[in-house]
Amino acid sequence: MHACSVESPAATDTAPNRVLRRCLGHAGDPATRRKEISKVRLRPDFRAFVRLDRPGTLETVSATQPSRLGRMMLDASVTARAELNVRRAAIPAAYVVLATVLVWSRFAAIGQGLWHDEIFTLEHFVAPGPAASFTHYGTNDHILFSVLAWLTVQLPGFGEQAARLWAVVPFISATVVGTVWLHRRAGAVVALFFALLSTSSTQLLMVSTEARGYGLAFLAMAVMTIAGYESSTQGTSGWLTVFAGAGVMGCWTLPTFVLPLFAASAVLFGTRSIRRRLLLRLAVALCAIGGWYAVPVSALLASRGQQYGVRLPWHAPLTGGATELAAAFIPTLSPASLIPALVAFPVLAVGLVRVRRVMPGLAGITVAPVALTVLALTIGGFFVDERFVSYLLVPIFVIAAFGLAVLLTPRPGLLGVVAAAYSGSLVMISAFVFAVVSVQHVRVPHEANREAANAVAAIETKGS
């Protein structure tokens, strides 16, 4: 039996098989053997072949008669490498599939006829011009969206359906930005789950394809969450400016966005090194928000009495995040529903524990906006529909992505089987519901107002 001496027993390598081939190839020339073996280091899983002659001396590798344990570990190494190669190929493929579904589901129905809320928005706040958004404010008026939509429909070749671009494009941008950021900060698995949740949410499918401001608010929340975390960890003025700018963008679209802005700002105030710079930027942001609503302030305060939706139950401050998560995938789910919230709660609980361990600065930035918004709406007795606060799904999906990544990680024992079955079932059910709803969404308009108008016009023409 020939042996090869190894001078760096603690080192690692990527090709243990090459070690054996080189050892066997120069079995008769010890000097050449040492020279060749020094070029290749051993992997930890190859140490099953290693025997320590004396403490502190060279290790000896059997090149012809590896132990049974050594063969088993070498086989495991080859299998692990094959799985890694498959995983490396699967991640880009998953991104391509999700991107295709995301773009198709948002753009395929963009030319359909408008439904009631879209028609009301265009008729009262877009067509008359930007002044109408400020002087005739109503709950349907998402002012920033109305102004941008008015600019768009004025362009040659752009019809009323083009106003939907200000919902579709910001939403896709938010999903892409959030996914790329999580990929860099938390890894591909968490990023893929975030992309999956954002793409397959039936609630977001509806609000991100209608000519309203929910897509803009979703983008503002995504940018504010990212900038908030980066500001707390890096402390740079640039990220603080982006944070404040995203807050202004969200508030200019939906007034309730001021609640997550205040909550996230309160969390950032815990970082002493950025307090002064943050305070300066928030002062400018509040001036911009106050100036934006200076004209419609009385109508804005009066809109608090709107009664569309339901009042949140007493337990909403505790279960609101889980309810939002469940409602994102179950059409027409009431914000007061408790059982779906209990089903979804473990995903958020596990995700929050994981976030606190690997990205502790992200926990407050994601939890505080959701908690304060739900608490304020509950105490104030406001009527709430899930889409009113759909922007909260950004931090909720971030936490849920961490939770699903943990729960779906293979682990031995009954607990691992239960966790995988539970989380896997949630993912498959959500994907199935989205598949059914998205196909119907593309084929059938939300409300066939245009078709009905054409039918009436045809009847009148035929009668005349």
- Lowest model confidence (mean pLDDT) among 97-106, 132-141, 390-399: 132-141
Query: Residue 69: inside a domain, yes or no?
Result: yes
User: What's the domain range around 75?
Assistant: 1-108
Query: Residue 445: inside a domain, yes or no?
Result: no
Note whether 195 and 122 are same-domain residues. yes
Note whether 99 and 241 are same-domain residues. no
Tell me the CB-side half-sphere exposure of residue 294, using CA atoms within 13 A. Answer: 6
pLDDT of residue 460 exceeding 70, the answer is no
- Lowest model confidence (mean pLDDT) among 24-33, 197-206, 376-385, 431-440: 24-33
- Opening angle at CA 386, ends 292 and 253, nearest 5: 15
Note whether 176 and 197 are same-domain residues. yes
Query: Residue 449: inside a domain, yes or no?
Result: no
Q: Please compute the mean of the pLDDT values over residues 298-311 and round it to a whole number.
A: 84
Note whether 56 and 128 are same-domain residues. no
The confidence score (pLDDT) of residue 463 equals 64
Note whether 42 and 166 are same-domain residues. no
Q: Please compute the mean of the pLDDT values over residues 15-22 and round it to a whole number.
A: 44
Note whether 96 and 169 are same-domain residues. no
Query: Residue 455: inside a domain, yes or no?
Result: no
The confidence score (pLDDT) of residue 78 equals 56
Note whether 182 and 208 are same-domain residues. yes
pLDDT of residue 135 exceeding 70, the answer is yes
The confidence score (pLDDT) of residue 38 equals 44
Query: Residue 131: inside a domain, yes or no?
Result: yes
pLDDT of residue 115 exceeding 90, the answer is no
Taking Cα atoms as reference points, which of 309, 204, 220 lies closest to residue 259? Answer: 220
Name the burial class of residue 223, with classes exposed (0-12), middle (13-18) and buried (19+) by CB atoms within 10 angstroms of its CB.
Answer: buried
Within 334-413, residue ranges assigned H as helices are: 339-358, 360-379, 393-407
- Lowest model confidence (mean pLDDT) among 9-18, 236-245, 360-369, 444-453: 9-18
Domain stop point among 74, 108, 142: 108
Residue at 40: amino acid letter: V
Note whether 82 and 179 are same-domain residues. no
User: What is the percentage of the chain residues whose pLDDT exceeds 90?
Assistant: 56
User: What is the percentage of the chain residues whose pLDDT exceeds 70?
Assistant: 78
Note whether 5 and 44 are same-domain residues. yes
Note whether 128 and 180 are same-domain residues. yes
Domain count of the fold of the chain:
2
Chain mean pLDDT for the chain: 83
Q: What is the pTM of this model?
A: 0.81
Query: Residue 460: inside a domain, yes or no?
Result: no
Domain stop point among 75, 108, 141: 108
Note whether 184 and 83 are same-domain residues. no
Domain stop point among 60, 90, 108: 108
